[in-house]
Copies of this chain bind each other. A is one copy, B any other.
Amino acid sequence: MKRNIKLVISYDGSRYNGWQRQGNTSKTIQEKIEQVLSKMTGEEIEIHGSGRTDAGVHAKGQVANFITDSKLPIEQIKNYLNQYLPNDIAVLEVMEVKERFHARLNAVKKRYNYTIWNDNVPNVFERNYMYTVEEPLDLEKMKQAADYLIGEHDFKSFCANKRMKKSTIRTIYAINIYSAGSKIVLSFEGNGFLYNMVRIMAGTLIEVGLGEITPEQIVRILERREREAAGALAPAKGLCLEKVWYEGERL
């Protein structure tokens, strides 16, 4: 009897070439987890993540699932993974789910946080998890600009894949912008995100905060439907996949 196992995973992406397996030569998070699971079960395990994260991007709540014949208790799978995974990958939750559950296909909502250190004195302890902007950012203007991004839009201007043939329409449910001391968090919730979309939105909002783009220009940037219209790609290290929601879960 096959079992379908869901994992909630946290990782510091600094050392990795992103989530997705790329053959045997590169170091990815998917590979590391598959290696440990394959060793544990004696099967060749393939995991399905909720989506790729790029090189250097972090996660506090990445979700993946895999099919196995193994009868190992859930708690034992969790302990085995946390014992044998490198110390920059941790499995927070393990649970058995229905046969038809698929971490990517069934995801209905995701939250990504982009964290900025807005100070000219470096933060040494969180330096790998934040992007430093030394010049003061105007939070109010960034919030005004963010409002124009909320809702259903064609986000082609915020997509790094220029040959994207599928729909570039996505819905952003919320963008929360808040600060604590010199730390500024841009928190994006949506039904899905295009390639580099969160980092391009973050880069664009930073340019608004610096006064290089006005909040109102966001309307025109969306309308133009070309990558050149939007701001720069913000660095990977500030980005973290916080949470993935599924059908039937409270949104």
Q: Nearest CB to that of A78 among chain B residues? A: B121
Q: Does A89 contact B (CB under 8 A)?
A: yes
Asked if A127 contacts B87 (CB within 8 A), the reply is yes
Interface footprint category on A: 20 to 34
Q: Within the assembled complex, what's the spacing in Å between the Cα atoms of A100 and B91?
A: 54
Asked if B127 contacts A88 (CB within 8 A), the reply is yes
Q: Within the assembled complex, what's the spacing in Å between the Cα atoms of A23 and B25?
A: 41
Asked if B12 contacts A124 (CB within 8 A), the reply is yes
| Chain B nearest CB, measured from A44 CB (Å) | 26
Q: Within the assembled complex, what's the spacing in Å between the Cα atoms of A92 and B90?
A: 33
| Chain B nearest CB, measured from A220 CB (Å) | 37
- Contacts of A110-132 to chain B: CB distance below 8 A: 120-125, 127, 129
Q: Does A199 contact B (CB under 8 A)?
A: no
Chain B residues near A121 (CB, 8 Å)? 78, 82, 90-92
| Chain B nearest CB, measured from A85 CB (Å) | 8
Asked if A124 contacts B79 (CB within 8 A), the reply is no
Q: Does A11 contact B (CB under 8 A)?
A: yes
Chain B residues near A53 (CB, 8 Å)? none
If A58-B125, A90-B124 are given as contacts, then 17 extra A-B residue pairs at C-beta distance below 8 Å, sorted by A number, are A10-B125, A11-B124, A12-B125, A12-B127, A79-B120, A82-B120, A82-B121, A82-B122, A87-B122, A87-B127, A88-B124, A89-B124, A90-B121, A90-B122, A91-B121, A92-B121, A125-B129
